[in-house]
Each structure stands twice: as C-alpha cells, then as structure tokens.
Amino acid sequence: MAKTITARYLETPDGVVDYPRIRVGDDGIVLSIEGGEAGTETGETVLTSSFLDIHIHGAMSHDVMEASASGFAEMERFLATCGVGHYLPTTVTAPVDETLQAMERIARHIEATSHSAADGHAIPVGIHLEGPFLSHIKRGVHNEADLQKPDIALFDRFQEAARGQIRLMTIAPETPGALELIEHATAQGVRVSMGHTNALASEARAAIAAGASSATHTFNAMRAVDHREPGIVGVVLTDPELFAELICDGIHVAPEMVAVFARCKNIDRVILVTDGMSATGMPDGTYRLGNFDVQVREGHATARGVLAGSVITLDKAVANFARFTGTPIRSMARAASHNPAKMLGLQERIAIAPGRPANFNRLSKDGTLIETILCGKTVAERVESIAAV
C-alpha cells in the first residue's frame, strides 16, 4: 500500500517545492510528487535528497584501504544513519602494491553491493583516488616516500585493478606530467580534482583547461592566498564553473573563512565532504588511516604533527555550513547531495522524481537530521557514539 511523505519544503535540483506530498509505493519507488497548500504540514521540516559523500576514508574503526566486506557493511550502516545514501570510498597514499590491492578489494565490494539502499546501507558508487600524485610540499599527512610523479601508465594500472571504478582523482596540477594525466583521465570519464597542491594561479587555470573540474578540501593542503599571487585558492574562489570541496567541521577551516568561501562561491558549485577517517563514530583513541596510526582527541584527528582527516559526519557538516554562513538549510543541503552528483555526472542516482528510489533526509529548520528515508523506509536512529563537532 502506498504511503505519503510530507514536509514544509522539498529541496530539488530545480528549486523548492512548498508543502510537498510524495507518494511512495511498497517497493520504495516514488509514485508522484505534488505541491500542497499551507496547513497541510504543521512542522518546518525540510526534505532533501540523501547525501553523497565523495571524500571519505572510513568510519566505525574501518578504513577503506583495509576493510573487509563486513567492515564495509558496518561502515555503510553507520553512514546511512548520518543521512548518506551514496559515497566514494577514498584512498590514501600508500605503496603501489598496497594501493593496487586496495583497488581490487574496493572494486569487488562495489560490484557485490546492491544498487538499492533498501536495507539501510549507504551505497558505494565508485572510488576516489586521493594520492599518490600529490605535491611533496603540500602532502599533508600523506607519506612522502610513497608519492609518485603523475604517470599515465601507473594510473591505468590503478584503474585496471579497480575495474574502471575510479570516478574521481585528486592530483597536484603543478607537478610534471600532471596536465597530460588530467587530460587522459578526463577522456576516460574520470573527474579530476586539484588538491594537495602548491599550484600558482596560472597552473590551476592550466589544469582546468586540461579538464580538472573540482578542488579537493579547499584551503587545506593548498598554497596560501597572497595579494600578488592568489594561487590555486584565488582561482577556486573566483572560477564560477569550478566545483570546490569544503570540510566544514570548524577545525579544518575557521567559521569566518567558511563565510568568506560562501560569499565568493556559487552555492551550486559547493561540495561539502567529511574527509572522514576510521575514527568517525568512535570515541577518542588511536585509529588507522591507510597504513599508519592517527590519534583522535576532542574532534581532532592528527598524525605526524598535522591533521589526518576528520571525524565529522556529513549531516553535521551541512548544519555547520548553514550556521556559519547564516544561509537557510534548504539551500545548503544541495551542497551535500545534488552538487557532488552533478560534478560526478551521477544526477540520475540521486534524482528526486517519480520512478526513482525514495531516498530522502528530513531536516529541522536549524539543520538537525531528524530522519533518513532510504527506498521509502526509515533508517534506524543513529548510535549515540557519533562524534558531534
């Protein structure tokens, strides 16, 4: 028997629907979407698409470089409680053989995973290759000994091991051979993001001309802005077509700089990510990121004296972004759903339309996640151990 989902607002790629009435069939597929009239919904809740996290290394003590099938399943159940319906397992720089093995394992998991989220799991929709083609100067926590010069043959080995599942690659555009690799990867349909980079503004623009379409965790592991050489950040903030990730935990980027970012950047090109690591959802302690240990204390994840990912969840990042910028939550939510899907060319996967799975998040006026609905079914409430930053 069909059921009806209502709210005060429904945020779609085409705009906001007031007082929506969404009919959902027993199979979890949307039958119809109609706008209603005032008084049909007394609350101020907002319905959005379930989130898509394109930059996440792990959660619940599981790291994607090492996770087993059961580890992935536990992580994906947790992500669903945080509003995430789809995600890109993200690698970290490691020896080539370890990366190849990780690619094979992640690809097997993606192929074995149902494309339906009816069982309350987030669904992996590809791989984000972060490293090894990064800047030595701006490598962050990535192991310097394992960094590689951009190399088309090596990228092809990674993609072959991943059975074509690499959808996004982070690269430092100023490194020798980067532009050629950007052109090569883009021609295969892989989206390229500029990150862990000391690029000048001219080098960033050259990468965009070669096909780069996004920037990885803006401000972090990037050349700082200078009034005479704005560098890559200046390009990220002023290029109206370039997508840009942001880690909005209040640690990686100060709230004031988040506000600056929001004033400069077209909201339709903002992508909120977590850069979450295996400690996400867990208490303070020592956890793994790839093949090294990370210490987590009071929301800070560090290794080798620098930040090593985060422990924020994507629903918290959305709420923070709205709070730091004073923007209505119904506008901010697209930065964690429609925008990353558009950048990856996966709009169909999270489309809000009849005939598509009923995957929604219900948010309060202040951005608190109230309910996640995947294929028409409410996901169990989140565990109390989720880190809130």
Positions marked catalytic:
275
At residue 262, φ and ψ (nearest 5 deg) are: -65, -35
Q: Which residue has the tokens 């169990």?
A: 380
Q: What pairs with residue 34 in β-bridges?
A: 21
Exposure of 271 by Cβ count < 10 A (0-12 exposed, 13-18 middle, 19+ buried)?
buried
Question: Cβ distance 179 to 151 under 8 Å?
Answer: no
Assign 3-class secondary structure to 127-167.
EEEECCCCCCCCCCCCCHHHCCCCCHHHHHHHHHHCCCCEE
Element (H, E) at 307: strand 306-307
Query: Is the bond preceding 95 in cis, omega lying within 30 degrees of 0?
Result: no
- In DSSP notation, 268-293 reads GGEEEE--B-TTTTS-SEEEEETTEE
- In which region does residue 231 sit, left (phi positive, over 0), alpha (psi from -120 to 50) or beta (all else)? left
Residues near 5 by Cβ (< 8 Å), separated by ≥ 6? 20, 21, 22, 24, 47, 358, 360, 373
